[in-house]
Every structure is written in C-alpha cells, then in structure tokens.
Structure 1
Amino acid sequence: MKISGCMTRDVKVASPEQSVRDAAKMMDQLDAGIIPVGESDRLVGMITDRDIVIRGVAQGKGPDTSVRDVMSREVMYCYDDEEVEDVLANMGDLQVRRLPVLNRDKRLVGIVSIGDLARNGETMEAGQALSGISQPGGEHSQTAH
C-alpha cells in the first residue's frame, strides 16, 4: 500500500512569522502535537509542542516568540508514492512518530503517523517501527545529553 492511501490530507500549516501562541492554539484546535511550517508554498520546518516547551519556554522565550525561532528546521519527510513498509522502517530508524508527506514536486500533500498506519492494517510493521522509535538515544532522548 502507498502512503497516499493512509495519510491525513488537508494539513493545516503554520507560518514561520506566526507566534508560538498561535501555533499552540492551532495544535489545541486540531488535537495535534505537531504542525508543518510553510513559507512561499514550501515546507520550511516543523513545530511541535515539545519545540515550544524546550526551545521556547525553557529558554525564557515568551508566547509572542515567532515560530521560526523555535521550529525544527531539518525536516524528515516521505513521498506520497512510497510503500507503507518502507516509510515505517524509515520512521523506526529516524525515531519519529510522524512524517510530513510530499509529492514528487516537493509540495506538502499530507502527514502520516504511526497511528494512521496501524489503523490501516499495518499493525505488525507499526509495532516494529514503534520499537525502533522507543530505543534509547535519538534527538529527543533524555539519555542523549
């Protein structure tokens, strides 16, 4: 199965110029912990609730701080025509639970999560990816510092 068959479409995108308060409100409304950041029709980053806390609040930055100042700039992504199994393996290796989905023109067309894939019948592969994600280490690990 291709990722396009199980991704979430119509993804809301934050602007790098918006405040982290606005991004947090979007997350609240969407019941999501991550929002792609776009500028001039291009994906330029991702902002997570964790980015707001660690790169914002913990560093003494206020709610009017721009998304650009706390977002993750290095964006890992997948393509909409990739096979689910390949993307799940990549998610496990990268230790991420969600990936933005781009078309081959590198335009954002969706977002896919481990949960999306598990709900679409890929439970064994999703479990294997989650096992990789849960391994010690990685960018967001408490043992990495």
Structure 2
Amino acid sequence: MKVRDMMTERPEYLEQEATIREAAERMRDTGRGFTPIAHNEKIVGIVTDRDIAIRAVAEGKSPDEQVGKIASGKVLYCYEDDSPAEVLQSMQDQQVQRLVVLNNPSNKDFVGVISLSDIAAHSQSADLSKRVTNASRLYH
C-alpha cells in the first residue's frame, strides 16, 4: 500500500490572500483542523486551527487579515509513492500529524494530504498500528 491509497485527494485550499475568517469557516465546513494555503495554485503553507488560536486570536489579529500572515510557511511533504511506514517516520521526526502529498520529485504537484488518522484507518499491520498509536501520544 502507498500513500496515494490512503490520502485525502486534493482537498480544497485557500489562496494566501484569503482571510483568517475564511480559513476558520473552511475548517468548520469541512470538519478538518487545517487547510493548505496556496499562491498561484502552488502550496506555500498550511494553516491549522492551532495557528488560528495562537497566531491570530491570542495575538489580537483581526479575522479579516490575510491567512498567509499566520500560516506555517514551511511546507512539510511526502510523495504519493512513499510507503506509510516512511511517512509515519517522517511525521514522528518532524512532530506533525499531517503532510502535504506531492505527485513526484520532478513535478511536485499537490495531489493530497495524509494524516496520522489516514494511516491508522488503512493500517494492515499490527506493527504500523502500534507506531501510529505511539506517534499520536505526542499530541495528547
């Protein structure tokens, strides 16, 4: 099984000029705690519900400010042909719960997002399931 078999395919994203409010509304409407941020259809960041709470609300930013100002600018990613074990290790090493998925090292086109919960839902090995459980403890 590869990342492409378990990822969320090409979730909607927002352009970096969108507002913090629009990002929060998107998260509410999709039931997800994050949204990719793009510039000219290239992913340039990710904004999470935590980013909104800490970098916007706690710092008194207006919900009408651009979401690009609070987004994480470093895009952490993997490739759709990577194995779940490789991706899980990368998530653990970087202490994140999700990665942007790109098609291949040459084109680097955005094709999806993979999360710890995606890996857990598709895990067919007891060892991988145990590793997902251990990785998720970092966040609770």
TM-score under structure 2 normalisation? 0.90
Alignment of 1:1-145 (within 5 A): 1-104=1-104, 105-122=107-124, 124-132=127-135, 134-135=137-138
SS at match of 1:61: coil
Counterpart code for 1:120: H
Could you tell me how far apart the structure 1 residues matched to 2:40 and 2:132 are?
33
SS at match of 1:75: coil
Q: Gapped runs of 5+ residues in structure 2?
A: none
Change (3 A) 1:79 1:95: same
Quick check: 1:3–1:81 contact (8 Å CA) kept in 2?
yes
Quick check: 2:120–2:132 contact (8 Å CA) kept in 1?
no
SS at match of 2:9: coil
Quick check: 1:89–1:129 contact (8 Å CA) kept in 2?
no
CA offset at residue 28 of structure 1? 0.5
RMSD: 1.8
Name the structure with the higher strand share.
2
Quick check: 1:76–1:100 contact (8 Å CA) kept in 2?
yes
Quick check: 2:37–2:45 contact (8 Å CA) kept in 1?
yes
Could you tell me how far apart the structure 2 residues matched to 1:23 and 1:48 are?
9
CA offset at residue 127 of structure 1? 3.5
Could you tell me how far apart the structure 2 residues matched to 1:106 and 1:56 are?
30
